[in-house]
Amino acid sequence: MRYIPTQTAKHGSLAEKLQLFRDEAEYSDYISARVTGQHFERPEDGVIFYEIEAHLSKQRWCVARRFSEFRLLRQQLIKHFSRGKRRREPRCAICENVLASIMETSFPSRHVWGSHLFANASGGIPEHEIIKERKMRFQEFMAMCLLTIRSLRQHIRVLPDSTTCEISVALRMMEEFLGLSFTRYLGFLGERGIVDQMSETMRQSLSLRRRQGEIVVPNTSSTC
């Protein structure tokens, strides 16, 4: 779920109202995700994709992610929460704890993927053993991401004036990885009875923004 910033007063007002809806229906208490144990190989290049099953209240969907996507998310999160340290700025205790949690969570080693890959690149470890180990580590990584989402949502409530932490950026990284699209989020609000409170003007504004590309819905998931 990605929101492109806008400077207009109209869209700013809409964003504020949406934030109120979001606060009333705290989605982090209702989202879950797990690595299912299923994987598939892309025929053209042999890249392995790992299936993730996600739930948001009554909604259920699956996304398929390759090793490099898991790794990229981890790198992006580490980079994001390390910014203050590089700039020698005062450190946020909550963000420090989040960074420590990311660093302490085991992550699988990188192996060259291809037709010759594992025998030469992984010390003779069988391919199925590497895939099995990755699934286990990816599940631990998913559990850490869910805890991070909840921690950051608490961060917003405890320290609302936390713009320097750019919490929404980190949340968006994980939401997009999990396939939490704007459409699914609206569905969740509907289940909670929040969407019904929207005025017709707000509905039209949301529809217009989506057509104009200001609300981008990832198309990387499916019902599983």
pLDDT (0 to 100) of residue 90: 72
3-state secondary structure of 168: helix
The ranges of the chain with pLDDT < 70 are 1-25, 84-89, 111-124, 160-163, 195-223
Cα–Cα distance, 216 to 182 (Å, whole number): 8
Half-sphere exposure of 78 toward its Cβ, with a 13 Å CA cutoff? 14
Residue 64's beta-bridge partner residues?
A: 51
Token reading at 121: 């690149």
As a whole number of angstroms, the distance between CA 195 and CA 189 comes to 5
Distances (CA, A) of 18 to 15, 176, 189: 5, 18, 10
Rounded to an integer, what distance in angstroms lies between the CA atom of residue 112 and that of residue 29?
Answer: 38
Q: What is the pTM of this model?
A: 0.74
Would you state the pLDDT for residue 89? 67
Lookup result for tokens 């805890």: 147
CATH at 21: 3.30.1520.10
Structural domain total, the chain: 1
By the 8 A CB rule, do 125 and 118 touch?
Answer: yes
State the residue range of the domain holding 131: 2-222
